[in-house]
Amino acid sequence: MNDLEKVGFLPRLAAYLIDIFILAVAAFLLGLIVGLGVLISALSISRRTLYYASNSDVEVLAQALAFILVVTYWLFFWTKWGQTPGKMVMGIKIVSTDGSPIGLPKAVARLFGYWLSGLALGLGHLWIIWDANKQGWQDKIAGTYVVKVRPAAAIVPSQPTVPPSYGGPQVAPSPAVSRQPWAQLVIMTEPQQGTRYPIGRPQIALGRDPRCDVSIRDDIYVSPLHARIWGTPQGYVIEDAGSLNGTYVNRQRITRQFLRHGDEIWLGYTWLIFQLMP
């Protein structure tokens, strides 16, 4: 998407070197643990049954654990946050080409791209330098971009009517609000993809709490009460309810904002579309 600020080779290289350093430290500690474990096991066995593990056996075990560590590191951080610790430090993250978070299939494809780039002596990584979309081979294969994480910038339009507090009494809509077109929210991400929530009340609550009108229980990055939507004579308004990870409309973090037909709303990793129905 054109509104994504794609990141070039040098910031990505810096993030990669940070990750390699973290993995090297983790692998060193893992090697110490394996060596200590082998030593303790050997000392705990009786002399008649004493088995001395050969150096090759220990090396195979260490290499297998190191491989599992590396694969788990990349896949875990990519699928959970779209960022490894190195990318977090550099303020960049991985997204799909449509701007949505990547899932496990794309993460696996990206890891395969890393391996392929390594076989080609790093050519796949250098590809970022001259590619129009700043994509390496891993990005081409998985359908991803590496983009700059935008700072939280609150967008506060003209002050609309303040809604009632969460769990409090609901107020009757004014005649102007009642004449608004009927609206709905459509969830676009699994496991609730395609679920529609009509906005038929003066205010609806969105969050992980089951008491919310739009309850998103499968996304741990959604706060118990994450956001509210309510109607005013000028239109529908969305407001962040003090969530931990913020509310985003069309990829901009907001505090309070009027909604338009087709607006994209992100709560954590959950993507919703706001629709006005005639």
Q: What is the pLDDT of residues 61-119, one digit of tens each?
A: 778 888 999 999 999 999 887 889 999 898 888 888 876 778 899 999 999 999 998 89
CA 83-104-84 angle, to 5 degrees, is: 15
pLDDT band at 14 (very low <50, low <70, confident <90, very high): very high
pLDDT band at 42 (very low <50, low <70, confident <90, very high): low
Q: Which residue has the higher pLDDT, 44 or 143?
A: 143
DSSP letter at 171 equals: P
CA 99-95-227 angle, to 5 degrees, is: 60
Count Cβ atoms below 10 Å from residue 91 Cβ, excluding itself: 14
Q: Is the peptide bond before 191 cis (omega within 30 degrees of 0)?
A: yes
> For residues 25 and 66, is the Cβ–Cβ distance under 8 A?
no
Whether the pLDDT of residue 58 is over 70: the answer is no
Residues 136-191: tens digit of each pLDDT: 999 999 999 998 875 433 333 333 333 444 443 343 444 444 445 588 999 988 88
Which pLDDT value is given to residue 258?
A: 93
Whether the pLDDT of residue 53 is over 70: the answer is no
Which pLDDT value is given to residue 163?
A: 41
Query: Which letter, b or e, does each residue of 214-243 get, where b requires 16 or more Cβ atoms within 10 Å of its Cβ?
Result: bbbeebebbbbbbbbbbbbeebbbbbbbeb
Residues 6+ apart with CB under 8 A from 255: 154, 155, 156, 239, 240
Q: How confident is the model over 253-262, as a mean pLDDT?
A: 92
DSSP letter at 160 equals: -
Q: How confident is the model over 232-243, as a mean pLDDT?
A: 89
Whether the pLDDT of residue 199 is over 90: the answer is no
Residue 145 pairs in a beta bridge with: 95
Which pLDDT value is given to residue 18?
A: 95
Residues 6+ apart with CB under 8 A from 121: none
Which pLDDT value is given to residue 214?
A: 93
Helix (H) / strand (E) element for 63: namely: helix 55-80
Q: How confident is the model over 219-233, as a mean pLDDT?
A: 88
Which pLDDT value is given to residue 176?
A: 43
Which pLDDT value is given to residue 139?
A: 94
Which pLDDT value is given to residue 82?
A: 83
Helix (H, G, I), strand (E, B) or coil at 215: strand
Whether the pLDDT of residue 125 is over 70: the answer is yes
Helix 123-130 and helix 104-119: axis angle, to 10°? 100
Return phi, psi of residue 159, to 5°: -65, 115
